[in-house]
Structure 1
Amino acid sequence: MKKTMLVLLALSMLMLPGTAVGQGSLSNFADGNHWASRDIKAVSELGLMNGTGTTPDGQHLFSPQSQISRAQLAAVLTNTFGLDYGTIYFVKEPLASDYYPDVDDKAWYAPYVVMCAINQVFPAGDVNFYPDRPATRIEVAQAIDRSFTAKSISVPMILMMPMLHDTGNLAQEEMNAVVFVNNTGIMRGNDGYFRPGDNLTRAEMAAVIMRCVELMAANETHGDQELQVPVGSIFYLDLASNPTNSHTWTVTGGIDGIIKNTGSAYRPDDAGTVPVAGGGGRQFWRFQALREGSADLQLAYARPWESVQPQRFEVKILVTPTISPALSLSTIAVRNEGQYITVDSYLPVLHGLAEEGIQVRINTGWVTDLEEIESLLTADLDDYIRYNQENDFPIRPYLLFSRYQTGTLNQNLLSLYVDYYTFTGGAHGSTDRRPYNFDLQTGQPLKLADIFLPGYDFPGIINQEISARIATEPDNYFPGEMGFQGIRDDQGFYVKDGQLVVYFA
């Protein structure tokens, strides 16, 4: 498979459920003597992963060497990231079967599949969810990458392309996920191999989840600062601790009514199963923001029997509305299921722009584009149905599926793209990625040339960068007329985290 080219250029711009299902108190598993024991104990006590059953004599099992299923993955990610409805509005409560016909709405994992579907955690494409199928490493990488995006969690990292021998056939989005989990340390390969098709064990999943928690957690560097958390969201805190010398952290104030402590766990730095005196480690807490307001979260670190002044940690938690009164994006879900065509679309809705006329025009544009694509899709639907019926061919329902990804939203610029996937009964469908870049002061759409100073040779610089990248791996790209011919006047692009992303599909 040839790669879709993705180029990143740094620019100086001129213009769910709140209750976890993990068995927090059942962390002493009969099969817990494992290389991942400290992570297994931590994810259980934090309420992020369940045990799998009990032995005949009543001891709890974690099954660390069992492969994690896609259903279990959905539950773990929902618990870890606090996946919920966010700013999406539904006419009726969505069911798992609305998204995947092979998911029973009464299954234990159905609510978690719904939350993952709403937050676009699993890539679109398959009609079925396959809940019992083991999750592969690339599926886990993509789901984690998408979970960070869904919750708008920004993670500082050095943008580097990992040197891996077995990722050449990955799609661009899959490769983007590999880059993210590799550069953040969440998941890495061994000996130059990522092994994207390998399955993950439950022990490996526990270790991966704790790395995610470490990335998301506030720590000593956030002392005496203010953290903003949306209502309903999950957030973490982790602090250095050493219970082997009898020191303990105690939450002394600031959680009544505004935030709630939903779990805590100590994880030793040493990978052994038994903490060594003086070894130390980290204490983790999982909190949920319950309602708007301000909470002064206070903790004390001391030996309970000593009268000396304890070490203290304090951070102000400001719980904000789900939709900020400032400039923001929410999502509207458009879902219509007919006998021969299904529309499943998430569209952005811009809020808070001072010039209401510009805001209405931008929001109307996405709806108009969706309607035009649906109209084109259905133009030959009657002929398709009649032809297949006359020839006794199976009729495969048409599908229009769209999701969007936000790049930048500030007072001057809105930059995002929408992927429109259409299926018209053939062997596979097609995806049309449409960029939307607006000057929010004027409401005018922006071309690539509009974000550079007049006279700046941006085409030459970008073309040179792309050509140099292709030259390093020529076998991965189409040659000649089918290959790279230079950027166009209508070149697709968006801006994310201060970087220009130019893409070719």
Structure 2
Amino acid sequence: MNLKSKLVPFSTAAILTIALAGNSFAATTPFRDLSNVNAQEKIIALQENGYVKGISDGVFAPDHTITAAEGIQFIVNALKLNIDSVRFLKEPKATDYYPNANNDAWYANTLIVAAVNGLDLPADLDPSQEWTREEFTYHLIQALEQKENLPMINLVPVEIADQDQITVDYQGAIQRALAYHVVELDAGGNFYPKDKISRAETAEQIYQALEYVKAHPAPAPDSTGTETGETSLE
């Protein structure tokens, strides 16, 4: 947030005090709607590093439910996915990959980037459909593991109280998300897979995923040029 104001003649000390206070406020509170959000500091940290943006100047909309297009944009931005080194025989269109997309929509390039980088998105993707917690978690983990080339983990499955509500294809990714501390269960052991996911929850998962990568960098190649190794998580 850029705070601009006209200053009437004050003492130099007074002007300096106001300027410093303004800069401090701008640096620590880029969004004015996070005061009651548990993930406030994480969202601010992501914003300062260019991983997330608000929906308008000073507004993050933490309770806003994300659509598939928004969720994909979160993932693409956080993992810094791009198509800079790809040469296309013709100008790509979002509908080349996802027929239900709109080539003139704001998300068109994001979908192209996601497809070219191998995100496991359905061909009949509806960009405007609201995503659930299990959908976002699955796609984030799948993209994270592929982009960062994460090693296999020695996984001990966690008992999830509402396991029966989780889509079978998403179960493994959710278990790994728990092992990576990207997500947590509530006090009753529930994940709430079918609940719509908010922007605040989405940002928190992104933050935790990046923290995991920071603490567990990809293994170095061995003498044959291949990456090896299995890790266990505690």
Shorter-chain TM-score: what band?
0.7 to 0.9
Higher helix share: 2
Supply the AA of the counterpart residue of 1:42.
A
Other structure's SS at 1:66 match? coil
* Structure of higher CA gyration radius: 1
Residues 171, 67 of structure 1: alpha-carbon distance in 2 compared, 3 angstrom cutoff = closer
1:149 aligns with 2:145: yes
Alignment of 1:56-205 (within 5 A): 60-85=58-83, 90-124=88-122, 126-127=123-124, 129-154=125-150, 157-168=153-164, 170-190=166-186, 191-205=188-202
Per-residue deviation, 1:163 = 0.3
- Residue in 2 that maps onto 1:49: 52
Per-residue deviation, 1:25 = 7.2
CA contact (8 A) 1:25 1:44 kept: no
CA contact (8 A) 1:166 1:195 kept: yes
Supply the AA of the counterpart residue of 1:43.
L
Supply the AA of the counterpart residue of 2:33.
D
Per-residue deviation, 1:88 = 6.8
Distance 1:158 1:213 in 2: 20
Supply the AA of the counterpart residue of 2:196.
N
Per-residue deviation, 1:116 = 1.5
Other structure's SS at 1:67 match? coil
Match of 1:32 among 23, 31, 34: 34
Per-residue deviation, 1:49 = 1.2
Residues 175, 61 of structure 1: alpha-carbon distance in 2 compared, 3 angstrom cutoff = same
Residues 152, 199 of structure 1: alpha-carbon distance in 2 compared, 3 angstrom cutoff = same
Distance 2:76 2:202 in 1: 14
Per-residue deviation, 1:109 = 1.4
Residues 218, 185 of structure 1: alpha-carbon distance in 2 compared, 3 angstrom cutoff = closer
Residues 131, 26 of structure 1: alpha-carbon distance in 2 compared, 3 angstrom cutoff = farther
Distance 2:159 2:197 in 1: 21
CA contact (8 A) 2:62 2:200 kept: yes
Alignment of 1:21-420 (within 5 A): 28-33=30-35, 34-54=37-57, 60-85=58-83, 90-124=88-122, 126-127=123-124, 129-154=125-150, 157-168=153-164, 170-190=166-186, 191-217=188-214
CA contact (8 A) 1:137 1:199 kept: yes
Q: Deviations over 1:370-409 (max 9, x none)?
A: xxxxxxxxxxxxxxxxxxxxxxxxxxxxxxxxxxxxxxx6
Supply the AA of the counterpart residue of 2:32.
A
CA contact (8 A) 1:27 1:44 kept: no
Aligned length: 200
Supply the AA of the counterpart residue of 1:189.
L
CA contact (8 A) 1:136 1:200 kept: yes
Distance 2:151 2:30 in 1: 32
Distance 1:93 1:27 in 2: 40
Residues 41, 28 of structure 1: alpha-carbon distance in 2 compared, 3 angstrom cutoff = same
Gaps of 5+ in 2: 1-25
Alignment of 1:11-22 (within 5 A): none
Per-residue deviation, 1:169 = 5.5
Q: Deviations over 1:48-100 (max 9, x none)?
A: 1111124xxxxx11111111221111111111112234987643343211112
Higher strand share: 1
Other structure's SS at 1:168 match? helix
CA contact (8 A) 1:121 1:144 kept: no
Which runs of at least 4 in structure 1 moved beyond 6 Å after TM superposition?
86-89
Distance 1:133 1:201 in 2: 13
Distance 2:172 2:152 in 1: 15
CA contact (8 A) 1:51 1:63 kept: yes
Residues 160, 216 of structure 1: alpha-carbon distance in 2 compared, 3 angstrom cutoff = same
Residues 92, 158 of structure 1: alpha-carbon distance in 2 compared, 3 angstrom cutoff = same
Gaps of 5+ in 1: 1-23, 55-59, 229-325, 328-408, 411-495, 500-505
Q: For CA contacts below 8 A with separation 6 or more, give which structure has more relative contact order.
A: 2
* TM-score, with length taken from structure 1: 0.36
Distance 2:158 2:60 in 1: 33
* TM-score, with length taken from structure 2: 0.73
Residues 112, 26 of structure 1: alpha-carbon distance in 2 compared, 3 angstrom cutoff = farther
The percentage of aligned residue pairs carrying the same residue is 24
Supply the AA of the counterpart residue of 1:41.
I
